[in-house]
Amino acid sequence: MSEPTLWLSSDCLLSKYGFNDGDEPDAFWDWREERGVEDIAWHPTLRRIVREHLVPKLDQRVEVYDIETIHNPIRASTVDGVDIDDLADHPDGMLTPDGVEVRYSEVLRIAREVSA
């Protein structure tokens, strides 16, 4: 059986409610719990995996910023130099590719580093 992965949708960078509204995905939480893995700091983990795994794969030049919120904590401020910060209406597929997959073990490695 292959290792499960976390899907990071590119469009989530454009939404207050992106990346599961900023919440740790239930499937990843369950995976951690099944293995007796400690709680993690999700927002710092999400910010780092987005910066390391999603942003570099985008076809566009995307600048991101952190926001302290109960919602999505990392969002795009510019796309190819155009300010889109909190853009309410953006075309679907503005960012390509659609997203990336990150192995759970990689997510956990990053979570442990940012929580240390």
Q: What is the pLDDT of residue 22?
A: 97
Per-residue pLDDT of the chain (116 residues; tens, 9 = 90+): 689 999 999 999 999 999 999 999 999 999 999 999 989 999 999 999 999 999 999 999 999 999 999 999 999 999 999 888 655 566 667 899 999 999 999 999 999 999 87
User: Tell me, what's the pLDDT at 116?
Assistant: 77
- What ranges do the domains of the chain cover? 5-115
Which pLDDT belongs to residue 94? 86
DSSP string spanning the chain? Answer: -PPPEEEEEGGGGG-TTHHHHTPPPHHHHHHHHHTTPPP--HHHHHHHHIIIIIGGG-SS-EEEEE--SSS-SEEEEEETTEE-TT-S---TT-SSSSEEEEEHHHHHHHHHHHH-
